[in-house]
Amino acid sequence: MRAREIQRSNFQGANLTNVDFTKAELGRAQFHDADISGSRFSFANLARADFRGATFTAPIDFDRAFFFLTRIEGVDLSNSAGLSQWQLNMACGDARTELPSGLTRPEDWPCQFQQE
C-alpha cells in the first residue's frame, strides 16, 4: 500500500527505509533524523517538506517530485535519482547541499532569507 494524504506529518527519527511515497501529498512533512534509505518520492508533493538531518544509505528517487521551498540545506543528495535542475531551483539549499553529477546550485536559493 502506498502512502497518500499525509501533509504536515512528523516523521522525525522514523525508519522509512524503502517506503513508497509515490504521488503522496507530503507538503510541510518533517523528516529530521529519519532514515529514508531507498525510499521513492516520485511525483510526490514535497512543497515545504523538510529533509534537513534526514539520512539515507541507499539512493532515493525524487523523479518529478514537486520541490517548492523544500528544505534540503546540508543534505547530501549526490546519490539520489530523478532530481532535475528545475526542482533544485525551487528548493531551499545551501553551500553544504551535495548535488548529483550534472546539476548545479542555483545562484540564489529561495529560502536564504528565511529563519528556522
53: left (phi over 0), alpha (psi -120 to 50) or beta: left
| pTM, to two decimals | 0.90
Q: Which CATH class is domain 1-99?
A: mainly beta
pLDDT at 108: 86
C-alpha 93/C-alpha 100 separation (Å) is 13
CA 1, 24, 21, 61 torsion-angle sign: positive
> Residues 22-76: pLDDT tens digits?
999 999 999 999 999 999 999 999 999 999 999 999 999 999 999 999 999 999 9
Domain ranges of the chain: 1-99
Measured over the CA atoms of residue 33, residue 34, residue 36 and residue 37, the dihedral's sign is: positive
Cβ–Cβ under 8 Å, residues 65 and 84: no
pLDDT tens digit sequence for 81-103: 999 999 999 999 999 999 999 99
